[in-house]
Amino acid sequence: MCAQLLTFQPYQAAVAVGIYLADENEIPTAPLIASALIAGRHLYVPRGTEVPTLVRWDPGAALRRVHGGIQEPLDGVPADLKPPAIVLLPVVAWDYTGTRLGRGGGFYDRLLSALDPHVVWVGLGYEFQMFPELPRDPWDVSMDYVITERRVVACGDGREASVQKGGLQL
């Protein structure tokens, strides 16, 4: 998956990366964090406030454990991510339309709905987590892509195809 992401054009173009700190069975992000830092990208990590946000984060900065054992930055300035940027999302399940199931509660739906819609949203998941169709609520925010251990899926039709977002040909 790491190799798929590193050659993924929206990731290569991104100057900022929103990334989760992996927990339990989520796709590990430590190698991606290291790679982003080497490439000089700014890292932003989710922080659960009244309105979930991404905050600028550097490895080694203080973290705290919140509900479910998830780690988040102790403090930080909320980010106003603008393209070219990419946000990597953990998935429990996904489908070809870009619907994702997470741990429940709609945290990432609230987070993404507050971001610039031209930022590229990418789920990191395994092939076995793909379902033909998942339930969808009106407030659910769709992913643009899913990267698995085998492929990059352009959501909407499930093909490895190009789409236009934020003025970039992806």
Tell me what pLDDT residue 49 has: 76
Split at pLDDT 50, 70, 90, the class of 157 is: low
Domain ranges across the chain = 2-169
Find the helix or strand (DSSP H, E) in which 71 lies: strand 71-73
| 16-64 pLDDT, tens digit each | 999 999 988 899 999 999 999 999 999 999 998 778 899 999 999 999 9
- Note the pTM of the prediction, 2 decimals: 0.90
Average pLDDT for the chain: 89
Q: Is domain 2-169 annotated with CATH 3.40.50.10420?
A: yes
- CA dist 24 and 150 (Å) reads 21
* pLDDT above 80: residue 133: yes
